[in-house]
Amino acid sequence: MLIHRLLTAAFLAVGVTVRLCGAFHAPTRMHRKIVCSGTDTVTSSSTASSTTSYSHLRTVDNDYIHQGGEKFQVGIAGAGAVAFATAAILSKNGHDVMLWSPSGRGTKDLHANLSADSHVNQRTDQTFLTASGAMDYHFVPRIAASSEQLVKENQVVLICLPANGHKHVFDELAPQLSISLTCKHVIISSHASLGALYLTKAVEQYQQQTQLQTKNNELNFPTITAWGTTVCTARRPSGTTVDVKSIRKSVDLCTIPEQESPSALKLCQSLFPHTNFQPRDGLLAISLSNLNPQNHLGMALGNISRMDKGEAWYQFQMTTPAIGRFLQGLDQERLEIARALGVDVKTIYEHFSLSFHVPISESISDMCQQIHKSGNDVYGPNTPSSRYITEDVPFGLVLTATLGRMVGRPALLHESGIMICNSMYGCDFVAKNDLLQSLKLDEMTLEDLQRAIRTGRNVVLDQQQERTPTSVK
């Protein structure tokens, strides 16, 4: 314990000195980065040894730091479970991580005193972020005092927060991204409701405004990469700790503009060398490959009284034959829409079989009972305010239903599910999707949409902007 305290004190002293002496985004800083492994080893060079284990990784490569792979300064928008866990993985991989909490609440326990000048990140006290579970690791992240600092001081920005906050955060980041010469890449983890398209447009609009104001021809336009899911699953028990439940073996991705896909893939592999990134054919493939919204709808509607009463229930065990048939019906609608769009996606049967290692059967309920018996079941939500409804209905189901109408394959079960949720929750979940409303998807032709998801160009908004040059908001 005493040794731990002494090492921690030494770490903090050296860490503060490094921060006060060094330019925050000087490349050399990363080589002087203090690395502290999960076994309380403290060293002050990039050749730090590490015995941290990655139990869920496909290929275990604990010596990545020794391999001299390119190291990046990475800013993370968000300070919840996924943000903390992703930050820990990045830091363990040798990258220099900064966290930004939009309200400041998410990072308040990680730093005690910011400098009076909020743009200067000089801390007089620092706290470890500690990851446990699938990895044991702790480190001191940089903390951004503002979205401006996040973009200014990092080469890559990752969006790690619920879709309900994406538009708000994109609106904050867009002005910074439109002028930043440092930050060239944005990664949305995980992507929802064509958010990459919204961010592209928002940056472009600010870029045009800036061009008008400054006559600066060297404007920046970041590459935007959409991930189908997060690189990890996690819970955040406190403001300084994260329980990493799993680190994914594989994550789907696509990039806007399309021609930047090879460089974006290379970047993702450098940031997360233990995850296998699978390029997909555009944002629609990414969106329609996400089975969570449909599966969560079936599980939640079938167990809504359990959620209301705060009961504990296993979600696969409770996927009874009736709920299973509902999931199969929802899946059929998603598959038909994907087929009409020429997008290749997995069926719910393939998804459960691959994710939970159970044999494919004709009945989804049977497969779910197998998942339960194999010990891979998880608790369903014990509150009605779960993101199974509050995030997945507006940002998942609403997109699928909208696409269904666009391609002439109305997704009646999806539409009905949204209406039932509207009625049960006393709100309009369609209206809660602020991204799709801003993109004016309902005014686009299918051709417009197909072009937009490859190039970032949204002709409906372009035309609207020509008529009234206002913001995308």
Ligand X SMILES: NC(=O)c1ccc[n+]([C@@H]2O[C@H](COP(=O)([O-])OP(=O)(O)OC[C@H]3O[C@@H](n4cnc5c(N)ncnc54)[C@H](OP(=O)(O)O)[C@@H]3O)[C@@H](O)[C@H]2O)c1
Query: Comparing C-alpha atoms, which of 270, 271, 291, 288 is closest to residue 280?
Result: 288
Reading the block at residue 230, the tokens are 């997060």
**How many DSSP H helices and E strands does the chain contain?**
20, 14
| CA dist 373 → 186, 236, 357 (Å) | 40, 28, 12
Q: Could you tell me the smallest distance in angstroms from the CB atom of residue 403 to ligand X?
A: 20
Give the span between the Cα atoms of 77 and 105, in whole angstroms: 13
Residue 440 gets the label, from left (phi > 0), alpha (psi -120 to 50) or beta, of left
Site string for ligand X, 275-294 (x = CB under 6 A): --------------------
Q: Is 256 in the site for ligand X (CB under 6 A)?
A: no
Instruction: By CB under 6 A, name the one of 57, 83, 144, 367 that touches ligand X.
Output: 83
What is the per-residue DSSP string for 97-114? Answer: EEEE-SSSGGGGGGBS--
Q: Is 243 in the site for ligand X (CB under 6 A)?
A: no
Percentages of the chain per state (helix, strand, coil), in multiples of 5: 50, 15, 40
Q: Is 295 in the site for ligand X (CB under 6 A)?
A: no
Pick 65 or 194: Cβ nearer ligand X: 194
Pick 49 or 276: Cβ nearer ligand X: 276
Q: Is 239 in the site for ligand X (CB under 6 A)?
A: no
Q: Is 236 in the site for ligand X (CB under 6 A)?
A: yes
| CA dist 364 → 175, 334, 337, 452 (Å) | 47, 16, 20, 35
Reading the block at residue 367, the tokens are 């497969």
Instruction: By CB under 6 A, name the one of 31, 105, 357, 473 that touches ligand X.
Output: 105
Pick 31 or 168: Cβ nearer ligand X: 168
Q: Is 188 in the site for ligand X (CB under 6 A)?
A: no
Q: Could you tell me the smallest distance in angstroms from the CB atom of residue 90 to ligand X?
A: 15
| The residue to which tokens 């050399």 are assigned | 28
Pick 33 or 167: Cβ nearer ligand X: 167
| Number of residues lying near ligand X (CB under 6 A) | 27
Q: Is 174 in the site for ligand X (CB under 6 A)?
A: no
Which range in 73-81, 332-340, 345-353, 465-473 contacts ligand X by CB under 6 A? 73-81
213, burial (CB in 10 Å: exposed 0-12, middle 13-18, buried 19+): exposed
Residues 141-170 that bind ligand X (CB under 6 A): 160-165, 168-169
Sites of contact with ligand X (CB under 6 A): 78-83, 101-103, 105-106, 160-165, 168-169, 190, 229-230, 233-234, 236, 387, 391
